[in-house]
Amino acid sequence: MCGRFALTEPEKILSRYDLLTPPPRMEPNYNVAPSFTMPIITRNSPNKAIMAKWGFLPVWEYKKPKPFGLINIRSETCKEKPYFKNVLLSARCLVPATGFYEWKELKLEGKAEKIPFFISLKDQELFSFAGVYAMCEDAEKKPQYYFAILTSEPNSFMKDIHRRMPVILEKKEEDKYLDPDNKDFDSLYNLITTQYPSDKMKTYPVSKAVNSPRNNSKDLLKGLKLS
C-alpha cells in the first residue's frame, strides 16, 4: 500500500506536466497523509491540475454522515468489480510525487522495530502515481474532488520492503493513461499492472518522526544510520 508520500517541489508541476495554468500555490509537503488536499493531474490536451482530498469516495459513501475514503485501490479490483472498472475507464488521474514512505520490520539490537524508508526514483525527481478520482457536490453545490492511488504486486526492489507498492507510471506512458479517449480496458489494465523497473528505484531509512503527520519538514528526508 501507500500511506504516506512527499511532494517537495510543487512549483515544478507546471512545467513537468505541460499545464497551461499553474496549480494553486502551495508549500512543499514532506509528509502527505490521508485526508490531505493535494494536486492531481487530469485529462490531457491540455492537462489540468485540480486540488483533491486523498481519500476516494465511492458513490455509496457520498451521503453518509462519516464517509469512508479509500486511499489505495488494488489494481486487481478494477478487473474484479464492475464499479471500479468503470472508474478506471472514466476517471483517471496522475498523482505527482517526489517519493513515498514504507515501513519495514527490522531487528535492531535484538528487538523487532518497524523502520520507515523513503523510496524515490533515480532518474526522475518528480514522478507520477497512477490514480483515480471522484467528484461530488457539497451542500453549496460546489464540486469537491477525492482521489486514491492504485497499488500493485511489488517488483523485486519493493518485495523486500512491503507486499504491495503504488503504481508508478513510466513518463512515456502518462499521456496514454490520461487520454480521455482511451477506453481500452485491457491496455489500461496492462499499464497499472506492469511493474516499474526495480533498477530505477532507490531507498534509505529515515526517522520515525514521519510516523506523525504533524511532523512536516525537510528533516524527515534525512537518512537514518541504523546500528
Residues marked active site are found at 2, 102
For 219, the grid coordinates are: 528533516
CA atoms within 13 A on the CB side of 99: 27
**DSSP structure string for 138-165:** -TTS-EEEEEEEEEE---HHHHTT-S-E
Strand ranges inside 68-209, DSSP E: 72-74, 92-97, 99-108, 111-121, 127-137, 143-152, 165-166, 201-205
Q: Is 109 left (phi over 0), alpha (psi -120 to 50) or beta?
A: left
Three-state SS at 188: helix
